[in-house]
Structure formats: structure tokens, C-alpha cells
Structure 1
């Protein structure tokens, strides 16, 4: 049964909807033998945020859904909308679907992302645009800066290390692995010129990933 948004605040609605995907993600990780350690939860502000994370592998999403305490939607390829049940729950989670082959649709996805954030829902973006598969953090695309500026929400950088060990570095065979997540202090856009943000946030995440890698 669909939950009526009008009956709940954005935060309460997200917490209710998130019970199913969080349960799903937790079971996926358990069956795969994945252990996860998270730090920096104290950095999470109240209200909607734009999470910006490096993108190691396919397990990034279930790891973050299961362990980041603030519910979020995320950007996904439009092809996922063809998958029954999963696409329904993604829509309930306020995910945004993007067709990168269609410029008009890509611009619409920016508008949709801003709208979700302004409505009080948090979002997760992977600004690398593709999985690094453990081969270092790739250059960030700048679209997330415009989204955060237009929505006027803080950015929470996330560093994640170890998800590529589960699948991508094993010829796509799933094996047990240990993953570390670090939530970094949130960034208010008014704190520095926007042209500095892209390099600054990427640098923060790269340094945190290197530290996590050394700690494992």
C-alpha cells in the first residue's frame, strides 16, 4: 500500500518509506558476507542535504542505504524504470531518473533534483558519473554544485572504500569484504566561492579515501 505523502512531514515520510529498502540492503550485505564500518555520523545536519560520494562499485548503493542514518534518494539510469517493483520503490524514495543520451532529459533531472531537495528530501549523487572499480577517485563533474546552489542545501561529502573488493575486482563474482564509510563535515555553500567547491570537495573525499585505504 502506498504511503500518503500529505499525511506526513517529508522527514517522517522518508523514514517510513526507507524501512523496506534499508531491510533489503541489509539482507543483501549479510548474504554477501559484507561488513561495514561507518564514522562521522555526528556531522549530519538536520534537514535535507545533498550527499556527494565517490563511486567504487555496484555495492555502494546498498552499503550506503543500509548504514547512512539519514534517508536519501539518488540519481539512477532511466533504464531502471523498466524493472518492476524496484522502480516503484525508487520513486517512493524520491530517486531521480536520468537519460544521459538526451540533453533535455539531463537538464530535467537537474530540475527534478532541486525540486526533491526543496521539498525536504535528501539526495545522493556520484559526481564521477561511473564506477572507479577501485582505481582511484575519478574527476568530478560539476553539476552537483548547481543543484545544491539552486536548492540552497548543504553538501555532505562521503568517502567510501572497499565496495569494489566485493565484486568489481573479482571478475564480477561476489566475495565477502570489509567496507569503510566516512561522512565528512557538511559544507554550506555560503562558506566559500562556488568555483572553489568542486576542487575542494573532491580533494576532501580523495584524502579521506586514501586514509580509509591505509587504515584497512
Structure 2
């Protein structure tokens, strides 16, 4: 428990330490210097996320990064094992990315502002209308060149097994006509088991599968595409 308390203190102090960079980002945004803004956002967010994961003592092994296109936006689709999935993907996969994230994260000061500048989309899973608006916003951002990450299960796994993907959860990739990058995360649920706030060191594998093209796939075929991507992810677990 002591380790967990120290980690949360570190989390808060590091977040406070990013305020000068956040002010720089705000200034660049107001000046319309978007490329400079986005570079600082990526560097700061990646460094912060990687530091948080490393502080737990976890060992992260990433394979398949060569499957990620260097140019253009993509939709990363991943299974969801634990609270550390976001910092793992943010810190250990170099391509800039934002997240389709639960609205509860908006309650954390400073983090909320960083996520907004990163072009994250906050979703209320209990509000179907808001969820639709969030998905439409995610589509717009993909078209604008901002890669997104989505966890189609909608919630974390209790034991590491993969759940069902929400129907139509990958429609934004079809509407934006961007590749889907399937990601299989193995072992992150051991870092903080669901329902337990104790942080533990763990070995985690992040397996990036080859891109799935959305070319010539109709929106009405989104459920079949969702099933196909889930099978790819599950096969590596």
C-alpha cells in the first residue's frame, strides 16, 4: 500500500510539473502555431505516461511497431485490461495519439486540459445521444489527422479475458476511411486488478498486429469488421 501512496504522490507532483509546458501549449494554440503545439503535447504526454508506468516497476514489451503507418492518422483498437492501458499505449507507442476516454477523467484538473489539447474525446457510456456525438467528433479528428485509440469493450476486464466489443464501435474508422491497428495487451490487469487500488509490478506485452484496411468496406458492414478485429486481438492473448 505504501508503494501505491507514493505512486499517487508522484502522479500529482509530475502533473503539476507539466504546467509550464501546458502554458506554452496554450500560447502556441492562441498563435495558431499548431505543429509546434502538437510536438510539445506529444513529447510531454509521452514522457509523463512512460514515467508513470516505469515508476510501478512494470516491464513493458512492445512488438509489431513496424505495423503502424508513419504517415496519416489511424484508429488504434485495443482490448482493455486495466487502468494503466492508457499510459502504456501513450508512453510506449511513439505515434501521437488521443483517446476515446470515459468522461470521469474530466474531473482531474490539469490532466483534463492536456487531454483536451491532445484532441481526446470524452464519452458518457450512459448517454446514447452523447456517445453518438463523441463518436462523430472522433471521426472528424481522424479526418483532421489525429490518431485515436478506442477500447471497444467499454470497460476493463476483471481477469484479463477479452469481452465482447460494442456493436458499431469501429464505425468512426469507416467514416474517416483510416486504417485500423489492432492491439493486444497482455498482463496489464495485474498492475492494478479491477476493484483493487494496490499498484503492483507486472510483465506486460503489447502486441501490434498488421493494419486492417477500411477501403471498400461499407458502414453497414461495421459489425462484421468489429468481429474481425476482435478475433485478431483475441488470437494474440
Give the alignment's TM-score, normalised by structure 1.
0.89
- Worse overlay, 33-42 or 194-203: 194-203
The root-mean-square deviation of aligned C-alpha atoms, in Å, is 1.9
For this pair of structures, how many residues does the alignment match?
207
- Where do residues 1-216 of structure 1 align in structure 2 (5 Å cutoff)? 1=23, 2=26, 3-4=28-29, 6-9=32-35, 13-45=37-69, 46-168=71-193, 171-190=196-215, 194=221, 195-209=223-237
Cα–Cα, structure 1 residues 74 and 169, in superposed 2: closer, same or farther, change >3 Å? Answer: closer
Structure 1 position 132, deviation (Å): 0.7
CA contact (8 A) 2:160 2:187 kept: no
- Worse overlay, 65-74 or 101-110: 101-110
Structure with the greater alpha carbon radius of gyration: 2
Question: How many angstroms apart in 2 are the aligned matches of 1:204 and 1:173?
Answer: 31
CA contact (8 A) 2:160 2:189 kept: no
Question: How many angstroms apart in 2 are the aligned matches of 1:84 and 1:60?
Answer: 20
CA shift digits 1:105-147 (9 cap, x unpaired): 1111011101110110000000000001334100011333211
Structure 1 position 13, deviation (Å): 4.7
Structure 1 position 170, deviation (Å): 8.9
SS at match of 1:101: coil
Q: Corresponding residue for 1:214? A: none
Structure 2 unpaired stretches of 5+? 1-22
Structure 1 position 91, deviation (Å): 0.4
Structure 1 unpaired stretches of 5+? 210-216
Question: How many angstroms apart in 2 are the aligned matches of 1:88 and 1:72?
Answer: 15
CA contact (8 A) 1:14 1:121 kept: no
Give the alignment's TM-score, normalised by structure 2.
0.81
Structure 1 position 101, deviation (Å): 2.1
CA contact (8 A) 2:156 2:194 kept: no
SS at match of 1:189: coil
CA contact (8 A) 1:52 1:126 kept: yes
Moved over 6 A (4+): none
Question: How many angstroms apart in 1 are the aligned matches of 2:216 and 2:82?
Answer: 32
